[in-house]
Structure formats: C-alpha cells, structure tokens
Amino acid sequence: MPFVVAFIPLLFFLFGTLIGTTAGVTAGDVDLVRALECASNAACYAVHPSSIADIDLSKSSGPIVKTSNSPDPHGDTKVGYYNYFVPVLQENLGLNSDFTPKTGSTLREHPDFVFVIYNGTNTWGQSVCRKYRYVGGILQETDLGGVTGSFPQTFSVNEISLDIYAGAGGNRSYTLTKPGSVAVIKGKVKQIGKTTDMTFVRAISEEFKTTKDWGTPNTPFNRL
C-alpha cells in the first residue's frame, strides 16, 4: 500500500508532463499553419490597382499581386512578398527581421519556406510567376518556369527538398483557378519539458477573391 500511495504523485506528474508536451507541440504547429495562412492572405491582397477594374478572371489578365516595386499609378512601390508576406509571417511567429526567433517564440530557429505568387500572363508589368525560396538563411528570388501563363495552373510541393514546382507531382499538388499563391513552410517547434524539438512541414494555397466570391461557403485556404 505505501508503494501505491507513493506512486500516485509520480503518475500525476508523468500525466501532466505528457499533456503539457502535447499541448505545447500542438500550439506550435497551429502557430506555424496560422502564420502561413495570414502571411499568404496578406500578400495576395497587395493588388496592382490598375488590374482591379478587370474582374473577368477567365481572361489571362485580372486582379494580380504586385511583384515589381516600380511605382504603380498611385505611386505605391509596395509588393506582395517584401511588404506583406514577410512582416506578417515574422509578426505571427515571433521572429526578428532576420527570421531568428524572439524570446517566447514557439520556434527553436529560423524557419525555411517557399512562397510562390502566380499572376498568369498580364498587361501590368508584373511577373507571371515569382518564387521566393528562403532556406538555410538564404533568399533566392526567381521567376518560376514551366507555367502556362493561364488558368487553371497546377503546382506541386516537395516536402523533402522544400520546394515548389510548376505541374503535378511531389508530395502535394495545388491548382489555382485565379491569381494567387502557393506556400510551404518548415519549422522546428519547441517541446515543453524536453530538450528535443519536433519539425513540421505545412503547405497552403490562396487565391485572390473578388466580390463574386463574397458570401460563398468556400474557404480561401487549402491546407496540407
């Protein structure tokens, strides 16, 4: 009986530790997904003002995301990635300007991610498809080849190499029927009460929404 009495507090301690660890990892995973959603959503609403008037998305042109920092007709030089995606991602994940975690962040180190903006062929001087790949602390910004320039356009996500390509395949595939983005992020999440961490890879796609989409039950995000 004394052994049983002594064992009960230990059992509660182990149970509490397990719950705390699970809750911590789950919260970190949710933070990662939600931050990617918010950042992608913000970037996709950095729309070139001259393209807003063209809401016929069956055309190759239409409301598109700014990728060039050349002044638009309103003098705005902000672009989807640098002025919207990056600051929103950093704010939601608790990151410094160099992507290193601040005190209290759920991440152990800087995340790796790939963000692709697909506008399709357009008359507004913006990239048809622009890819931003931040891996190992190095940013590579390029025009992504292999796209058709029209809609629908399919993209594939490779979780191993952490990259996004035009066309089907990879671990996940996403098809955009309108201008929008595809993104994938990899982050090392802290585990409460443990010295080891858990690494998560999450991906989403986001499409530009017009007034024709408002009030519909469709969610703007397709999650991994």
Nearest-5° angle of CA 223, CA 165, CA 61? 85
Nearest alpha-carbon partner for 134 in 112, 164, 116: 112
Model pLDDT, residue 28: 52
Among the ranges given (37-41, 131-135, 145-149, 218-222), the one the predictor scored with the smallest mean pLDDT: 218-222
Model pLDDT, residue 9: 46
Rounded CA separation 43/188 (Å): 24
Nearest alpha-carbon partner for 182 in 209, 158, 164, 208: 164
CB neighbours of residue 126 within 10 Å:
24
**How large is the average pLDDT for residues 5-24?**
39
- Print the domain residue range for 98: 2-223
CB 155 within 8 A of CB 144: no
Please report, as a single letter, which amino acid is at residue 50.
S
**How large is the average pLDDT for residues 211-221?**
40
Token duo for residue 189:
């999440």
pLDDT band per the 50, 70, 90 thresholds, residue 162? very high
Rounded CA separation 133/164 (Å): 9
Higher pLDDT, 84 or 71: 84
* Number of domains forming the structure of the chain: 1
Helix residue ranges, H only, the chain:
2-43, 80, 86-93
CA 20 to chain centre: 27
- In eight-state DSSP terms, residue 62 is S
Model pLDDT, residue 94: 96
pLDDT band per the 50, 70, 90 thresholds, residue 31? confident
Q: Rounded to two decimals, what is the model's pTM?
A: 0.80
**Distances in whole angstroms, Cα of residue 223 to Cα of each of 83, 173, 182, 206:** 24, 11, 10, 10
Q: State the average pLDDT for the chain.
A: 80
Rounded CA separation 158/164 (Å): 6
β-strands 112-118, 221-223: how paired? unpaired
pLDDT above 70 for 212? no
Q: Is 17 helix (H, G, I), strand (E, B) or coil?
A: helix
Provide the percentage of residues in the chain whose pLDDT is more than 70.
73
Among the ranges given (23-37, 118-132, 174-188), the one the predictor scored with the smallest mean pLDDT: 23-37
What confidence tens digit (pLDDT) does each residue in 59-80 have? 445 688 999 988 888 888 899 9
Model pLDDT, residue 222: 43
Most confident of 2-11, 44-53, 153-162: 153-162
Rounded CA separation 67/117 (Å): 8
